[in-house]
Amino acid sequence: MNAVPQAVNAPLTRTALFLVVTVNPGLDQRTSVRSLCGDLASLVRSVGFRDLDGSLSCVMGIGSGAWDRCFGQPRPAELHAFREIRAGGRHAVSTPGDLLFHIRAEHFDLCFELATQIMARLENTASSVDEVHGFRYFDARDLLGFVDGTENPKGQAAVDATLIGDEDEAFTGGSYVIVQKYLHDLAGWNALSTEKQERIIGRTKLSDIELDDATKPSSAHNALTTIVENGREIKILRDNMPFGRAGGDFGTYFIGYSRSPRTIEQMLDNMFIGNPPSNYDRLLDFSRAVTGNLFFVPSETFLEEVTVDEPTAVLVPKSSDVEQLPSNLPVPDGSLRIGSLKGNRAHE
């Protein structure tokens, strides 16, 4: 039987809640996590039934360490800890996170209710380390004023870009997701002319048209976040959202789904290190990453078949979970911003 994926490719919604938690050590905590896996789809149905037009969905992701403690073997082939990147003054941080819940709906009350139910199930088991409330901003723009998500794949292309196939048969229908919270220096950004902003992003601000190659710098965001392998552009699916408080921090919550984490990792290398090195993404002069996590998203079929009492081998974390991994490997499907966009080859 084919595995049914989680709602990775659910339609974009007006609101979202991004919840990252850490799980306490111990067998009781492992039991609670496994119990929630089997019941998550039922929770979503129960809350969503209160507003059938609300388009409620939830994607659950599992971090590398949490997978070892709660599931053991077999293990997703490319699951590892988020790779920290330092280059010049730019820093893609790696922050704690065992579980991700990406909750989407047309109305925020549904997101909040489901998140509350999830945390009630994890009481005394897990602690929230990051909770972000996202919203759609006018005509799908980010707080920088540019349309976000233009190059997202659709239909079968989205399926091909996000869902694991025969390359990891034990986890067919699964996906990988990377999340980062970026804070923006809007005062500095808004001090730039529109033309300078467009050259940094690689698209026109008003009409959302990609700049032609003669005009667009090689350091443009959409140039650096386009990954080409064997002459084919490798796509990812983004569901980024603005967030913030008028009197506090604000920015963009980046969330990218892909059938291989190497795609997004190559984008981040290009952005933070540069392609070639030092030809980095000038958007990072105005946007600072303050979180960074990588999760595996098992299929819905996998989650529903998890049982509380199933024996699991407890593994010692692999060295690959803490070491830098090579990023110049072939990748399957991409684009990033902190937004949408297009560009050129990964650096060597």
What is the C-alpha to C-alpha distance for residues 338 and 271, in angstroms, rounded to an integer?
11
Tokens of 312: 């699991």
Q: Is 148 known to be catalytic?
A: yes
264: phi > 0 → left, psi -120 to 50 → alpha, else beta; which? alpha
What is the C-alpha to C-alpha distance for residues 99 and 114, in angstroms, rounded to an integer?
15
Q: Which of 68, 98, 142, 148 is catalytic?
A: 148
Helix (H, G, I), strand (E, B), or coil: what is residue 44? helix
Query: Which residues, 6+ apart, have CB-to-CB distance to 272 below 8 Å?
Result: 85, 86, 87, 90, 91, 92, 280, 281, 284
What is the C-alpha to C-alpha distance for residues 336 and 256, in angstroms, rounded to an integer?
7
> Residue 210's beta-bridge partner residues?
203
User: 189, 182 in Cβ contact below 8 A?
Assistant: no
Residues involved in catalysis: 148
